[in-house]
Structure 1
């Protein structure tokens, strides 16, 4: 008898609202979702649908108004800041549009920062993986540069290498190819897919790009703060068609 592995992240009946009575916004409205281990999940929806809010609450970067959030088998709904920070550092990788690189560190030091924060040097296997990431992302000639010496696309590549370098079990990615040209974007998406397929990592990616979403194993669609549909692996054309239909309904 096979058993289904526990989800690496879960939200259950989550509500998230902003504003006061006069300006009340329901960003998430009774959302329940399991993120399965070893799976590449894309979250899509029209602007204002709640997709970024959903990722932020799942990652513990924002609190919920009500409901439950479980991350890496830990209920983080009311967890303390110190415990949440340590959990994120050890279990989670982040790829966000803001990059969040340390300006005083060079590229290699930024990529190795998760190891430094966790108090250990990379193993031989981890070091080899980091070098593969640096080469694949076209950063070999930039390892001694600091963030201000890089283009936006190059900074995004550094952020991606840093997120993948320590092989965290779960990675949250917010429009990870938004600042990349189409060729580099495809290479990055293939790398993310390989991290899932070959190393068992789990990825949650918020994107508006049907091409990016086509690399995912599973696509979750949001509208008006609610999950309205879920699809398996789909072509960019199929995803575009569904998104267009959602926009018309909205």
Structure 2
């Protein structure tokens, strides 16, 4: 196994605004190891979401190198980015983004179907085990509208782990939750990261939960520094 699940080397991202060039990220480098839970903090507009999009193969950097597990991304093989996102990355968004017409267990089984074109018994068992890990075994056949906000976010995290990703990317996962439920969700991300030896990178404004992560990076004006 590679030492790092995610490596971003000398990442720069610029946009043209008329005749002006706006540089959002300036020579940013970070690496996240397997079993490591890292957080990125910083003010609005500092480049956090842009960096997360680049780490998730959703956005190309203007310059720099992105490596996810053993896969080096480049513009030359962009046709493979969908496969990388599907098989090597798990996403947790600010809102849970569950499909309203699918039961909880089917939210997870859909990930396997999208990856392989069929439902496999071992992945169905994996889905049930993940939901049990998150205390949702009694909610398998519930639709999202019957779940609390915290339960929905827990389903979303379990779904993100379904494809055995190298890296879990979480964009403000506590934004729609109260303090107690938000902390519980981040604790679950931490625990599952350790249990399954995955890596996790979280963007957050909530500095009260930073004691739960292994490393903290701060972005300001497009530049990144490691705080611990």
Give the shorter-chain TM-score range.
Answer: 0.7 to 0.9
Deviates more, 1:48-57 or 1:19-28: 19-28
Question: Which TM-score applies when normalising by structure 1?
Answer: 0.80
Structure 1 position 71 matched with structure 2 position 41:
no
Inter-partner Cα distance in structure 2 for 1:95 and 1:212:
17
In structure 1, C-alpha distance between the alignment counterparts of 2:179 and 2:39, rounded to whole Å: 18
Provide the rounded CA distance (Å) in 2 between the counterparts of 1:43 and 1:75. 22
Alignment of 1:109-124 (within 5 A): 109-119=106-116, 120-122=120-122
Determine whether 1:53 maps to 2:57: no
Alignment correspondent of 2:96: 99
Once the 2 structures are TM-superposed, how far is the Cα of residue 8 of structure 1 from its aligned partner? 1.3
Instruction: Look up the match of 1:230.
Output: 226
What is the distance in 1 between the residues matched to 2:32 and 2:131? 29
Alignment partners' CA distance in 2, 1:212 and 1:23: 38
Relative to structure 1, the CA distance from residue 23 to residue 147 in structure 2 (aligned partners, 3 Å threshold; closer, same or farther) is farther
Equivalent position of 1:144 in the other structure: 141
**Deviation at residue 16 of structure 1 after TM alignment:** 0.6
> Residues 5 and 72 of structure 1: is their aligned pair in 2 closer, same or farther, counting only changes over 3 Å?
closer
Task: Call closer, same or farther: CA 1:154–1:167 in 2, change over 3 Å.
Answer: same
Distance 1:62 1:194 in 2: 29
CA displacement 1:72-122 (0-9 Å, x = unmatched): 221112153441111221111110114332333222211222222233333
- Residue 9 of structure 1 pairs with residue 28 of structure 2: no
Asked if the contact 2:134–2:188 (Cα under 8 Å) also holds between the matched residues in 1, the reply is no
Give the superposed CA RMSD. 2.4
Please identify which structure carries the higher strand content.
Answer: 2
Cα drift, residue 41 of structure 1: 0.6
Is contact 1:9-1:73 (8 Å) kept?
A: no
Distance 2:127 2:138 in 1: 17
Provide the rounded CA distance (Å) in 1 between the counterparts of 2:64 and 2:221. 18
Task: Give the Cα–Cα distance (whole angstroms) in 2 for the partners of residues 207 and 62 of structure 1.
Answer: 20
Does residue 218 in structure 1 map to residue 211 in structure 2?
Answer: no
Q: Which runs of 5+ in 2 are unaligned?
A: none
Return the alpha-carbon distance in structure 2 between the equivalents of residues 193 and 21 of structure 1. 43
Contact 2:39 2:217 in 1 (8 A): yes
Shift of 1:224: 0.5
Rounded to whole Å, the distance in 2 between the matches of 1:170 and 1:92 is 5
Structure 1 residue 218: Cα displacement: 0.3
The number of residues matched between the two structures is: 225
> Mind listing any 5+ residue stretches in structure 1 that lack a counterpart?
233-250
